[in-house]
């Protein structure tokens, strides 16, 4: 059972919490008529993600055996056979996809794009410099869109911008960690790393860090936001600043950041900051 859970990468499901963003910022998060269907979408895309992770693990199994941590994954270590894993991945992908077709056609199309994009990533796109990280960013945007499809909730352009820049920040930070920690073995693990350099990644991280902070700050003071929620959201900016700076500290000083999910679930100061930000956002939005 532990191998099975490891194969599904359930910890990575935290990324799919982005599906709740549309109902949170549309003041529908506390409405069960909106929350429960969105919760179903969360589990559907989580199962699909697990199936796609399995396909990626099968494709990367040989290279993962050369990685100090990934060599212990169920497929790379040989503890779970590839044929069984492939069958499981088909079930995890096709069952939610079929279910979504009967829920909402637009949701089905979003899921289909998500699946095709990630299969292309597993076989081709992860070998293309910069595009590999942009695909990761696109996945986060698709998660946000999937949370809006059932109820046709309009998505703010600011929410899309913040999602894009934040996911690029995490993606480039992950590439930097891989290049830094693996050293001469980096190319053996991920071929695209031969096209990156630490100075280049540092520049990219600097750009997307500034873009993330500026986008969020402008969102809190935009005319659309002030009209809907008032001018108080600007006071949530310190939480965002601390979260970004703390993550940079983890990447540059502590030498971590290879698995953003692990960082976000294990670094206590960052967890507290995210919880405080979430409580502030929900408390403020739903009091106005």
Q: What is the mean pLDDT of the chain?
A: 88
DSSP 196: -
What does the pLDDT read at residue 144? 94
Model confidence at 79, pLDDT cuts 50, 70, 90, reads: confident
pLDDT value of residue 44: 96
Is 244 within 8 Å of 209 (Cβ atoms)? yes
Report which of residues 279 and 67 the model is more confident about.
279
pTM value > 0.85: yes
| Residue burial 227-253, b: 16+ Cβ < 10 Å; e: rest | eebeeebeebbebbebbbebbbebbbe
Residues 168-221 pLDDT 10s: 999 999 888 888 877 666 666 677 888 888 999 999 999 999 999 999 999 999
| Res. 126 pLDDT band, cuts 50 70 90 | confident
pLDDT in tens, 223-275: 888 888 888 999 999 999 999 999 999 999 888 877 788 888 889 999 999 99
In order of 31, 58, 151, 227, the CA distances from 173 in angstroms are 36, 25, 34, 35
């Amino acid at each position: 059972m532990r191998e099975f859970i490891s194969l599904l990468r359930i910890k990575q499901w935290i990324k799919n919490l982005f599906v709740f963003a549309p109902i949170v910022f549309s003041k529908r998060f506390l409405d069960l008529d909106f929350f429960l269907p969105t919760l179903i979408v969360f589990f559907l895309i989580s199962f699909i993600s697990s199936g796609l992770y399995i396909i990626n693990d099968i494709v990367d199994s040989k290279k993962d055996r050369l990685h100090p941590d990934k060599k212990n994954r169920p497929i790379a270590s040989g503890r779970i056979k590839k044929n069984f894993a492939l069958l499981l991945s088909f079930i995890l992908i096709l069952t939610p996809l079929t279910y979504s077709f009967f829920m909402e056609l637009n949701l089905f199309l979003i899921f289909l794009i998500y699946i095709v994009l990630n299969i292309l990533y597993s076989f081709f796109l992860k070998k293309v410099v910069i595009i590999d990280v942009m695909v990761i960013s696109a996945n986060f945007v698709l998660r946000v869109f999937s949370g809006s499809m059932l109820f046709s909730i309009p998505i703010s352009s600011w929410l899309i911008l913040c999602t894009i820049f934040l996911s690029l920040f995490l993606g480039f930070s992950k590439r930097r960690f891989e290049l830094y920690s693996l050293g001469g073995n980096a190319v053996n693990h991920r071929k695209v790393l031969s096209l990156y350099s630490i100075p280049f990644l540092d520049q990219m991280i600097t750009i997307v860090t500034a873009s993330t902070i500026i986008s969020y700050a402008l969102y809190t003071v935009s005319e659309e936001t002030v009209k809907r929620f008032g001018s108080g959201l600007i006071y949530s900016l310190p939480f965002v600043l601390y979260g970004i700076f703390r993550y940079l500290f983890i990447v540059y000083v502590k030498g971590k950041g290879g698995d953003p999910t692990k960082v976000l679930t294990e670094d206590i100061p960052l967890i507290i900051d995210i919880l405080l930000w979430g409580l502030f956002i929900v408390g403020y939005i739903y009091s106005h």
